[in-house]
Structure 1
Amino acid sequence: MEEANEPERTLLPLFPLGTVLFPGLVLPLHVFEPRYRTLVQHLAELPASLPREFGVIAIRRGWEVGRVEGEQGESTDAAITAGEALSLYEIGCAAEIRQLTELPDGRFDLMTVGRRRFRLLGLARNDAPYLTGEVEWLPEPKGEPDREEELAAGVLAAFQQYLKAVRSDDDSDGEQLPDDPTVLSHLVAATASLTLEDRQSLLAEPDTISRLKAERALLRREAALLGQVRAVPVALSDLAVPSSPN
């Protein structure tokens, strides 16, 4: 029996955010905090042969407001920053800088694209003002083509119906959606109106088939909720749950 290859591990600069990035999806960023300006400057100075990438990882609770100290390999839930607990999700996605614009005051506008998923193993101690994590890259296993295509067709149909329900125009009829099951699974996860927890759960799914199954269930849930909301004679804004100040 052949032994499975150990996942590749590396150190990756981290950018904790209140959002979830998926492979292949675009994420524009406006960088103004000094620590992340330093991060961008470091990446900009790398040789052209190296990818200019950092890890986008969603914040479970708390906010990163100051230097985070962490022992390499410790649980990220144990990280402390300025007396406030910072808890990060375990699964993130690397973002590659495709376009970088430095503004006169030292801020940056970035256009990034999600590349590959990673698992955060722990925080690394170093002299950089920004977080650095020890990560292992997660594979995108090849699934059963027939099963993937069958599930993708069902999710595609459900997503098109969902788009019609949430939009006031008919543009969704002519919208081009990807045929590739993996690409579709990432697009649906990123663009449907889901909670951060739902998106994070989809990012953490081990393969395309599992992600498509989860999306099928979520789209059915969202369709049922939309039907209930339309039966209530109040504005959608009146039903919104107040967001956390963190």
Structure 2
Amino acid sequence: MDDMDLKGFSGRVRLFPLPGVVMFPHVVAPLHIFEPRYRRMTADALEGDRLIATVGLTGGDGPTPPVEPVGCLGRIIHHERLADGRYNLLLLGRKRVRLVREILDPDRPYRVAEAVVIEDEPRSAPDGPEARRSLIQSFRQAIGAAAEIDDEFFRLLESAESLGALADIMAHSLPIHGAQKQRLLAEPDVHARVGLLLRWIAEMTPTLPLGRTFPPPFSSN
């Protein structure tokens, strides 16, 4: 994946808190933007670098509930502005980011933070065909027994540009708990991420409901 669209990244991110949703790099997600503050956020992003950071919530309520320290920096690759000011977006996950501190900006109704990009740490993980085949095979055995699988989805897995990208696509697609997905997002070590995936795939196999179509459809926000 080309990083040219992040070349001018300033280190300041627009925060889009998503309750119960964890987004990963290498994944495209549809979003429906309807709150006025996030309409403004979207308009600002489209006029600027087109970047938005999705972050999970850790609990609490109010106008600024606490968020997870690691989120996903995404780039708007398609947008549709509706007549009433709402937006439909396609957001491509680009990089993990660690939030350093939130910035008070009275000129913006949405939250902004300083953040640093977290790169994958692939040196501890063999990134050859055998490692990828092993992960895909485990995934196929777990899901295939319980679901009708779209062959195109496996072609997507096989075409992933790296073991880290493959792990992220799987992490996004697997029906595991949000806390598990957040742990995978926060883990920069590819070897550790793959190990967690293999363990959780093995644990979930006996409990998967039968007769499902996989992967499940993405939900809008």
Question: What do the CA deviations read for 1:81-117 (whole angstroms, capped 9, x no partner)?
Answer: xxxxx22111101010001111000111111100000
Q: Which residue, out of 48, 53, 56, partners 1:55?
A: 53
Q: 1:154·1:216 contact (CA, 8 Å) conserved in 2?
A: no
Looking at structure 1, the residues matched to 32 and 149 of structure 2 have their Cα atoms a distance apart, in angstroms, of 32
2:145 matches 1:165: yes
**Offset, 1:62:** 3.1
Write the letter of the residue equivalent to 2:117. Answer: W
TM-score (ref. length: structure 2): 0.81
Residues 127 and 163 of structure 2 are in contact (CA less than 8 Å); yes or no, is this contact kept in structure 1? no
Match of 2:73 in 1: 94
User: Is the alpha carbon distance of 1:203 and 1:174 closer, same or farther for their aligned partners in structure 2, counting shifts above 3 Å?
Assistant: closer
Q: Please name the residue that 2:39 is paired with.
A: 37
Query: Where does residue 124 of structure 1 map in the other structure?
Result: 103
**Which of these residues, 113, 119, 124, is aligned with residue 139 of structure 1?**
119
3-state secondary structure, aligned to 2:56: strand
CA distance in structure 2 between the aligned counterparts of 1:171 and 1:55, rounded to whole angstroms: 29
Once superposed, what is the RMSD of the aligned Cα atoms?
A: 2.5
For residue 94 of structure 2, give the secondary structure of its aligned residue in structure 1: strand
Unaligned runs of 5+ in 1: 1-7, 69-85, 231-235, 237-246
Aligned counterparts of 1:174 and 1:28: Cα–Cα separation in 2: 17
After the TM superposition, which segments of 4 or more aligned residues of structure 1 sit over 6 Å from their partners? none
Partner of 2:30: 28
Write the distance in 2 (CA, Å) between the matches of 1:29 and 1:174. Answer: 21
Partners of 1:141 and 1:207 within 8 A in 2: yes
- Max radius of gyration: which structure? 1
Identity of aligned residues (%): 27
